[in-house]
């Protein structure tokens, strides 16, 4: 049995929009979230992301000569990543045995080394690799977590990532805690530190003293601001500060920050691609919590390697964003104690991925996976268009 066809889709801009109770960002009392571009005033509203192949979905679907299929949705990469699969990685997939996931992954990885080694190439690789896992699950009749060695936990506890203006809607949903994207950074000086403290104080009032509270800095801070915020938050029981610096070549700075902000932990890796970057961070004591994104860092193959590196160092691996793919990893990985539900601007627990049916969602803060084959979800074909028709 071999893979005979690779099909690629993009989300139809006119279909598949989830009916959501999202709060209008324009009416928020908060400024836009800080990110790596907000040092430039003209890009502080986040518009720089649109059309850049960033947070745009694409779908890889595989079919064998016998008619078995598997698919994967990647939340990022969009048309750019889909074109990479179409024009570059397709040659390694068509004709391959569905069991040869490691072989196909290694071929894609080596093929992109001279020109890639970044976000788009790893997104494209993940799309193919995850579709192969889904295909293999459908062929064998097994959920992917069984193909990964079986479940080590029957349920996945979740924290919620929610913007401060909507976090009150999640206070009674059973989540183990909340992660807050920040709206202030170094350019705001002491007023920014005051604002972060107020945000955390409000979170404590909503979620209580027993809940975990985390901070998402999303590449928008520097060492000084991070350490000063941690010092201010010393009495609030904050669990971690996440990705405060621009990714790449941050090991020495992160090791220093990690030591300086204890007992608050440092979470790293959301914006890193591939095993080499994580090896550098892990082996050089540059983080307390390791946070790969399964769909960004190259798929389950890479995420398993990252977990294997973290294990002897006693570091938890808590992936970014609980997609179906993340959930099957967490369910089968002893080093991954809980997951993240992306609440964003929602005012309740709602689906996040409009092009699939059956997205696993938390109930009372906990996700239970079914035992359906593959990743246990279906492609909503009404919401996608073939790549060449987009």
**Structure tokens of 316?**
């938890």
Under 8 Å between Cβ of 298 and 117: no
Catalytic residues: 320
Under 8 Å between Cβ of 36 and 92: no
- Per-residue pLDDT 10s for the chain (390 aa) are 999 999 999 998 776 555 545 544 444 555 667 777 777 777 766 655 555 556 789 999 999 999 999 999 999 999 999 999 999 999 999 999 999 999 999 999 999 988 888 889 999 999 999 999 999 999 999 999 999 999 999 999 999 999 999 999 999 999 999 999 998 999 999 999 999 999 999 999 999 999 999 999 998 999 999 999 999 999 999 999 999 998 887 899 999 999 999 999 999 998 888 899 999 999 999 999 999 999 999 999 999 999 999 999 999 999 999 899 999 999 999 999 999 999 999 999 999 999 999 999 999 999 999 999 999 999 999 999 999 987
**Structure tokens of 206?**
């909503």
Q: Which domains does the chain have, with CATH numbers?
A: 3-23+43-141+381-389 (3.30.390.10), 147-378 (3.20.20.120)
pTM of the predicted structure, to 2 decimals: 0.92
């Amino acid at each position: 049995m071999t893979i005979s066809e690779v099909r690629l889709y993009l989300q139809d801009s006119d279909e598949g929009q989830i009916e959501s109770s999202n709060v209008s960002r324009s009416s928020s009392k908060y400024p836009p979230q800080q990110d790596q571009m907000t040092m430039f005033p003209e890009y502080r509203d986040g518009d720089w992301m649109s059309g850049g192949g960033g947070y745009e979905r694409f779908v890889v679907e595989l079919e064998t000569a016998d008619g078995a299929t598997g698919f994967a949705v990647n939340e990022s990469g969009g048309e750019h990543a889909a074109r990479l699969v179409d024009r570059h990685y397709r040659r390694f997939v068509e004709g391959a045995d569905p069991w040869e996931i490691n072989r196909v992954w290694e071929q894609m990885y080596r093929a992109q080394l001279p020109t890639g080694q970044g976000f788009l190439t790893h997104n494209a690789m993940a799309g193919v690799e995850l579709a192969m896992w889904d295909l293999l699950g459908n062929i064998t009749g097994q959920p992917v977590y069984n193909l990964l060695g079986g479940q080590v936990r029957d349920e996945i506890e979740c924290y919620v990532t929610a913007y401060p203006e909507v976090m009150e809607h999640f206070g009674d949903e059973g989540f183990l805690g909340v992660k807050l994207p920040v709206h202030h950074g170094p350019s705001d000086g002491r007023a920014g530190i005051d604002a972060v403290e107020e945000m955390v104080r409000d979170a404590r009032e909503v979620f209580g003293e027993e809940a975990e509270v985390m901070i998402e800095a999303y590449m928008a801070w520097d060492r000084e601001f991070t350490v000063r915020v941690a010092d201010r938050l010393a009495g609030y029981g904050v669990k971690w500060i996440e990705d405060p610096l621009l990714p790449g070549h941050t090991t020495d700075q992160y090791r220093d920050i990690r030591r300086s902000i204890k007992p608050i932990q440092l979470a790293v890796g959301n914006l890193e691609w591939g095993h080499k970057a994580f090896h550098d961070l892990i082996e050089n004591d540059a983080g307390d919590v390791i946070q790969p994104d399964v769909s960004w860092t190259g798929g389950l193959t890479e995420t398993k390697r990252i977990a294997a590196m973290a294990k002897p160092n006693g570091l938890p691996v808590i992936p970014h964003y609980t997609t179906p793919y993340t959930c099957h990893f967490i369910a089968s990985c002893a080093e991954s104690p809980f997951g993240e539900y992306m609440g964003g601007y929602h005012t309740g627990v709602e689906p996040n991925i409009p092009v699939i049916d059956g997205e696993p969602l938390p109930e009372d803060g906990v996700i239970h996976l079914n035992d359906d084959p593959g990743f246990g979800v279906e492609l909503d074909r009404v919401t996608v268009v073939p790549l060449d028709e987009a």
